[in-house]
Amino acid sequence: MKNMGEEERDLEIEGGTMMMMEREDRDRDRDRDNRLGSDDSVSSKDSLRQPLLLLKNNRMNNTSQLAIIGANICPIESLDYEIVENDVFKQDWRSRTKVEIFQYVVLKWALALLIGLSTGLVGFFNNLAVENIAGFKLLLTNNLMLKKKYYQAFAALASCNMILAIAAAILCAYIAPAAAGSGIPEVKAYLNGVDSHSILAPSTLFVKIFGSIFGVAAGFVVGKEGPMVHTGACIANLLGQGGSQKYRLTWKWLRFFKNDRDRRDLITCGAAAGVAAAFRAPVGGVLFALEEAASWWRSALLWRTFFTTAVVAVVLRSFMELCRGGTCGLFGEGGLIMFDVNQAKPVYSTPDLLVVIFLGVVGGILGSIYNYLVDKVLRTYSIINERGPICKVLLVITISFLTSCCSFGLPWLSKCIPCPPNLGEQCPTIGRSGHYKNYQCPPNHYNDLASLFFTTNDDAIRNLFISGFDKEFHLSTLLIFFVAIYVLGIITYGIAVPSGLFIPVILAGASYGRLAGSLLRSFTVLDKGLFALLGAASFLGGTMRMTVSICVILLELTNDLLMLPLVMLVLLISKTVADSFNKGVYDQIVKMKGLPFMEAHAEPYMRHLVASDVVSGPLVTFSGVEKVGNIIHALRMTRHHGFPVIDEPPYSAAPELCGLVLRSHLLVLLKRKKFTKQKAMTGSTIMRNFKARDFAKPGLGKGLKLEDLDILEEEMEMYVDLHPITNSSPYTVVESMSLAKAAVLFRELGLRHLLVVPKTPGRPPIVGILTRHDFMPEHILGLYPHLDPHK
């Protein structure tokens, strides 16, 4: 099947966007003149030809086939998740022995194991690198601050941040633009059936790992958790390529995975492993893949995903034992997250529940505003990023300098606080990680705002989650930190560095929650650290609109199961409130990027239309035994990926739909040149000369293109039998089916083509093909503007 890097065919998401063309040599091909579905231009010169579709359906689908991937405009196409039941593949299925079936099952579990191991190792390396690089930078700045060299300290901090930011920006802007951002929207779209250009390529994986390390260590208000989801998906895609001829990885067992269906399962496991590696939350990773990432699920996939995240948890636990006592990092214990806040037991009553409800309502409102502003900033940045890589790097430099000024300057607004007596740790903290930063304060005092700004994001969250009995924050400190993180998180997302939203949202939510806990302490007995946790939950629910997965991730992070009822309550309330204003942040980004995402539900206006109302045409079709020249001409003049095959007399009693043939399969068939001079069925010859693996989707290698064919002039007049490679059981719907029902069917089955057939006999055997773009609102409302709910 197609290589997603092929520029000539990447523009398709095919079928629905149909081009009209004139067939050559009509006088010599009179036998085709009455064939259904010829894709000729209907003109005055050729009034004898009848178009496939009714006049009202002779229309083009003009929806965009480009999307913003990372920070670049790239072509997109769909993925083939459908099982192709043609004769060649059926023969392969029937010939598989029990040993080969066992090998296939074992390999699936083996690849799940490898994905877990690899993602766990990358997650640990990512954490360790961030902790050491950020630790060195903060240690250098802190030493200068202790010597009262404040200007040198700012210069050191800003210079280190700038160097790291420029390194991340150059990697993203010049090597892999698709690595910018969190990557979760693109992974979500891929699992929905949208193949974005180079989104899972090895270069993207490389830049995602090192760009994320440099970006987080540079002090940006971004997280490494979102990029870890993308990293896990890239690792899964790389391992699931089914071998590579380029690198001589042609083990015959690997050929089982040269299809989009198995790769989809592996990438789902990779996305779950990324969450597990980022948060050390294996169950949360499974639920994240189920609730947010995957569009298609089954029980067998649940087991493999759970196995993968369990492997990640074991790998991280093993390395945590090695890092006990701070032996792995200059700043912390390897950065492996665990916000242990179970010192305070949550005992609550009815007034406490009312306060929690208030917290959820405000969190939902703030989260919806956050999403609105992120959308506006992303649209603004897209205009800047279109000007080229230099502008991307300059934008990163600007945001980096602004972030450095805020993190160094804002702590000067905070008052010094005396160190609490009888502490179990050093106060003020000198050197390594700690909760009490001296900054510019006199001995035995600490700066509480510096304890949040002058540390890594993970330690800042720990400081906010810590019990109110152990650490106190000024109200002004929490307010300043909340506003700064809220604004910096918005303006930072969208620049050309790998950046996640989880940590900025948790930071803003935790500071808001702790601030609310301090203001409402006369109404509740809940600890301020618990309020910080609930604030983070409310903000996550308000921005990302996830409930089950966020709840489990937070509980796994904090090791506090007693908070389950309150976390559930605040998540449900914040999501409900925010849903009344706008969509979740990832859904907004998917739409803003132009990715043709199929929603789980049909829009209300689709109930007023039937399938035949939106099909585009005319349609290009082939006979069961087709002339080579006609196939070459159709492939050259269109970018469709699927072509209906029509059997006509004498091969059938009347014109009937034989099935659907794929472009990539046609190219393989034409490359071998198994042609005949007479128009005759030669399926048995083709079956002897071809194997199912010949039509498999290429991995990292180069797939066939039309330019690779070397068809002679005399061969153009020869014939080829398409029956052996035609999917004889494509999914079809009757033309009178409601568009809403067809949309749900298309999405649930993960289709690329949905054939529309006539309801009444005596008509041509196919009305048209529905593809992803035919279900997009811009196409439907363009045809029927009176149905637009916003008018």
103 contacts 186 by C-beta, under 8 angstroms: no
Per-residue pLDDT, averaged over 26-48, amounts to 34
pLDDT band at 164 (very low <50, low <70, confident <90, very high): very high
- Token pair of 184 as six digits: 């979760």
Nearest to 4 by CA among 76, 66, 70: 76
Burial class (CB in 10 A: 0-12, 13-18, 19+), 431: middle
For residue 114, what is the enclosing H or E element? helix 98-146
For residue 721, what is the enclosing H or E element? strand 719-721
Q: Is the pLDDT of residue 340 over 60?
A: no
Element counts in the chain: helices (H) and strands (E): 24, 13
Cβ-proximal residues to 502 (8 Å cutoff; 6+ apart), any chain: 223, 225, 226, 278, 279, 540
Per-residue pLDDT, averaged over 134-141, amounts to 87
Q: How many Cβ atoms from other residues are within 10 Å of residue 251's Cβ?
A: 10
Give residue 337's pLDDT: 53
Measured CA to CA, the distance from residue 214 to residue 204 in angstroms comes to 15
pLDDT band at 512 (very low <50, low <70, confident <90, very high): very high
pLDDT, averaged across the chain: 83
Residue linked to tokens 């709910």: 789
Per-residue pLDDT, averaged over 534-549, amounts to 94
Q: Is the pLDDT of residue 537 over 90?
A: yes
Give residue 708's pLDDT: 84
Per-residue pLDDT, averaged over 598-612, amounts to 92
pLDDT digits (tens, 9 = 90+) for 138-150: 888 888 887 888 8
Q: How many Cβ atoms from other residues are within 10 Å of residue 719's Cβ?
A: 21
Measured CA to CA, the distance from residue 694 to residue 246 in angstroms comes to 16
DSSP-H helix ranges across 638-750 = 663-672, 683-689, 739-748
Q: From the centroid of its chain, how far is CA 603?
A: 23
Burial class (CB in 10 A: 0-12, 13-18, 19+), 409: exposed
Cβ-proximal residues to 404 (8 Å cutoff; 6+ apart), any chain: 154, 157, 158, 161, 162, 219
Q: Which residue has the higher pLDDT, 607 or 24?
A: 607
Local structure of residue 600 (DSSP, 8 states): S
CA distances from 443 to 141, 206, 416 (A): 18, 45, 10
**Where are the strands (E) in 443-585, listed by range?**
445-447
Q: Is the dihedral of CA 474, 415, 486, 455 positive or negative?
A: negative
- Token pair of 590 as six digits: 């998917």
Measured CA to CA, the distance from residue 324 to residue 612 in angstroms comes to 65
Nearest to 295 by CA among 250, 346, 261: 261
Local structure of residue 73 (DSSP, 8 states): E
- Token pair of 767 as six digits: 């009305």
Percent of the chain, pLDDT > 90?
47
pLDDT digits (tens, 9 = 90+) for 374-392: 999 999 998 898 888 999 9
Q: Is the pLDDT of residue 52 over 60?
A: no
pLDDT digits (tens, 9 = 90+) for 261-284: 899 999 999 999 999 999 889 999
Q: How many Cβ atoms from other residues are within 10 Å of residue 786's Cβ?
A: 8
Give residue 56's pLDDT: 40
Give residue 69's pLDDT: 77
Measured CA to CA, the distance from residue 66 to residue 56 in angstroms comes to 27
Burial class (CB in 10 A: 0-12, 13-18, 19+), 574: buried
Measured CA to CA, the distance from residue 36 to residue 51 in angstroms comes to 8
107 contacts 258 by C-beta, under 8 angstroms: no
Q: Is the pLDDT of residue 26 over 80?
A: no
Q: From the centroid of its chain, how far is CA 486?
A: 24
Burial class (CB in 10 A: 0-12, 13-18, 19+), 687: middle
Q: Is the pLDDT of residue 329 over 60?
A: yes
Give residue 406's pLDDT: 93
Domains, the chain: 110-324 (1.10.3080.10), 350-593 (1.10.3080.10)
DSSP strand pairing (194-196 vs 656-662): unpaired
Q: How many Cβ atoms from other residues are within 10 Å of residue 298's Cβ?
A: 9
Measured CA to CA, the distance from residue 611 to residue 789 in angstroms comes to 20
467 contacts 460 by C-beta, under 8 angstroms: no
Give residue 738's pLDDT: 95
Give residue 700's pLDDT: 58
pLDDT digits (tens, 9 = 90+) for 355-378: 999 999 999 999 999 999 999 999
Q: Which residue has the higher pLDDT, 348 or 681?
A: 681
Q: Is the pLDDT of residue 466 over 50?
A: yes
315 contacts 118 by C-beta, under 8 angstroms: no
Give residue 325's pLDDT: 65
Per-residue pLDDT, averaged over 334-344, amounts to 52
Measured CA to CA, the distance from residue 405 to residue 411 in angstroms comes to 10
Q: Is the dihedral of CA 594, 600, 602, 604 positive or negative?
A: negative
Q: Please state whether the predicted TM-score (pTM) of the whole model is above 0.95.
A: no
Give residue 62's pLDDT: 66
Nearest to 455 by CA among 278, 340, 331, 334: 331
Give residue 418's pLDDT: 80
Q: How many Cβ atoms from other residues are within 10 Å of residue 151's Cβ?
A: 8
575 contacts 545 by C-beta, under 8 angstroms: yes
Q: Is the pLDDT of residue 5 over 60?
A: no
pLDDT band at 335 (very low <50, low <70, confident <90, very high): very low
pLDDT digits (tens, 9 = 90+) for 740-749: 999 999 999 9
Measured CA to CA, the distance from residue 291 to residue 585 in angstroms comes to 14
pLDDT band at 451 (very low <50, low <70, confident <90, very high): confident
Residue linked to tokens 């992303």: 378
Q: How many Cβ atoms from other residues are within 10 Å of residue 368's Cβ?
A: 23
pLDDT digits (tens, 9 = 90+) for 628-667: 999 999 999 888 899 999 998 877 888 899 999 999 999 9
769 contacts 751 by C-beta, under 8 angstroms: no
pLDDT band at 734 (very low <50, low <70, confident <90, very high): very high
DSSP strand pairing (416-418 vs 194-196): unpaired
